[in-house]
Amino acid sequence: MEPREGDESMAQRRTAFMARRAAMGFTQESFARELEVDDSTVRGWESGRHAPQPQFRKRIAAALQVSLAELDDLLNGQDLNVGRRSASIETSTTVDLPVAEVRLAHVDPSVAGLLQQRVELLSQQYDHVPSTSLLAETTNLYGQITYLPSSTGSHEAKERLHAAAAAVALLMGQVLWDATARRDHAGALSYLAAAVRHAETIGDTDTAALAHLRSGMIDLYGQRKLTSAAARFDKAAHETRSPSLRVFVLMHRAEVHAFRGDLRECERVLRSAERLLDRSHGEDRGADLVSDRTFERMAGSCYLQLGRYSSAIEHLEAAQGLRKKSSTIVLANLSTANSHGGDLDAAATHLHAAIDELERTRSGGGLKLAAEATQLLARRRYPRSQEVQDRLLSLMAS
């Protein structure tokens, strides 16, 4: 049954439909122009709030180069079965790669490898540029990869294609959530679920674990679903073979206890994570996720949540120097901890530094925490809080 207009509880994002639209080279805006409808109409179709009316379906199918039956499959969340495509439809498409044309009838391992490289290049940019600047390209690449037939080609090509699909879905979930300032929970979770499916198909337990971890982070930070978050973290810890990734999972598991106000369990799990961190090495899959500073950031976040502000400040001070998007979170949390601790000048200094970083990275998580820290500073009647508010509002407006 189709969800009724405005029925958010029943709406489910149509990721297959979105992927096909992106694979055909359309943005939401250009697709709306092609069909002569409002942008909001396309967003409504893709969010699952409503379905295209009958008079639009032939035009949509023509724009997407699918049959009406295949359009129904896309709207119902099913990927196209390329082997059943109409003979009247072009059976090849050119992926924007420097050296290869991708034929839908056969996927060469070298092409799948090039797609993996493109995902990796986008992933490397994540911490250095605003997520909004990556969203269109990542969505387009997701559409290209998931449109290709994983059922054809050699065993090596199939594995590489599933690996590329898992990686781009993982990145898409992260980019979408950050680009929407941690508001689009459902969309990000749907991409992460796709990452799990592709990773499990080829036995890539670490990528599946990382997708479970990021899903748990959405539950924890975005929705405050502590039980669900804990279950996802436990599943990630069970599945991964990476000691470093297990450390990162434990750090977030400790945060669940902090959100519950359980100091004793939080510190117990933090100690376990610290011991495991000492034994981990820089060669396993999750090595780039954890460091001593990462531990300090997570411990500081735990103590901040528990209301132990002096301990939070101590750990957060030691965490400074992390990657740029993480650094905004550290600085915003330092501002909040100092505000609660009564040092409003220090709080303002850290908040200005957080906004400096936000001007470069537009971190969604950092922006949300900076806004909360700014509101707290204003409630404390800090004399120059308006200056901070103006900077943040100007940033958000841009």
In order, the DSSP letters of 318-370 are HHTT--HHHHHHHHHHHHHHHHHHT-HHHHHHHHHHHHHHHHHH--HHHHHHH
Residues 76-100 have a mean pLDDT of 40
Residue identified by tokens 């199939």 is: 158
Q: How does the average pLDDT of the chain come out, rounded?
A: 84
Is residue 158 within a helix (H) or strand (E), and if so which, with residue range?
A: helix 155-179
Q: In this predicted structure, which of 15-19, 51-55, 242-246 has the lowest mean pLDDT?
A: 15-19
Under a CB-based contact definition with an 8 Å cutoff, are residues 173 and 191 in contact? yes
Q: Which of 90-94, 161-165, 176-180, 303-307 has the lowest mean pLDDT?
A: 90-94
Instruction: Select the more confidently predicted residue: 81 or 248.
Output: 248
**pLDDT of residue 177 exceeding 90:** yes
**pLDDT for 6 beyond 70:** no
Both tokens of 252, joined, read 């977030």
- For the segment 365-372, the average pLDDT, to the nearest whole number, is 88
pLDDT tens column, 374-387: 999 889 888 888 88
CA dist., res. 165 & res. 144, Å (int): 9
- Which 3-state string (H, E, C) describes 180-203? CCCCCHHHHHHHHHHHHHHHHHCC
The two tokens of residue 384 are 């120059």
**Least confident among 22-31, 240-249, 350-359, 371-380:** 22-31
Q: Is the pLDDT of residue 132 over 60?
A: yes
Please say if the pLDDT value at position 392 is more than 50: yes
pLDDT beyond 80 at 92: no
Q: How confident is the model at residue 232 (pLDDT cuts 50, 70, 90)?
A: very high
Specify the pLDDT at position 288: 79
Q: Using an 8 Å Cβ cutoff, are 150 and 161 in contact?
A: yes
Q: In the prediction, which pLDDT does 291 show?
A: 85
Q: Which of 85-89, 148-152, 320-324, 363-367 has the highest mean pLDDT?
A: 363-367
Cα distance between residue 348 and residue 321, in whole Å: 19
Q: What whole-number distance in Å separates Cα of residue 221 and Cα of residue 219?
A: 6
Question: What per-residue confidence (pLDDT) applies to 76?
Answer: 83
Helix (H) or strand (E) holding 122: helix 109-125
168 contacts: CB under 8 Å, gap ≥ 6:
115, 119, 122, 138, 141, 142, 145, 146
Over range 134-162, report the average pLDDT: 81
d(CA 59, CA 192): 31
pLDDT number for residue 282: 60
Torsion-angle region of 25 (φ positive above 0: left; ψ -120 to 50: alpha; else: beta): left
Residue 92: its H or E element:
strand 92-93
Percent of all residues in the chain with a pLDDT value above 90, rounded to a whole number? 42
Mean pLDDT score, 75-82 = 63
Domain chopping of the chain, boundaries: 15-90, 91-202, 204-290, 316-398
Tell whether the model's pLDDT for residue 97 goes beyond 80. Answer: no
Binned at pLDDT 50, 70 and 90, residue 201 comes out as very high
Nearest to 171, CA basis, from 198, 203, 202: 198
**CATH number of the structural domain 15-90:** 1.10.260.40
Supply the pLDDT for residue 81.
43
pLDDT of residue 70: 84
* pLDDT, mean of residues 211-229: 96
Exposure on the CB side of residue 102, measured as CA atoms within 13 A: 27
Rounded to an integer, the average pLDDT of 358-371 is 87
pLDDT at 258 over 90: yes
Digit-coded pLDDT (tens) for 260-297: 999 999 999 999 999 998 877 666 777 778 888 999 99
- CA 312 – CA 302 distance, rounded (Å): 7
Position 50 scores a pLDDT of: 84
In one letter, which amino acid is 69?
A: A
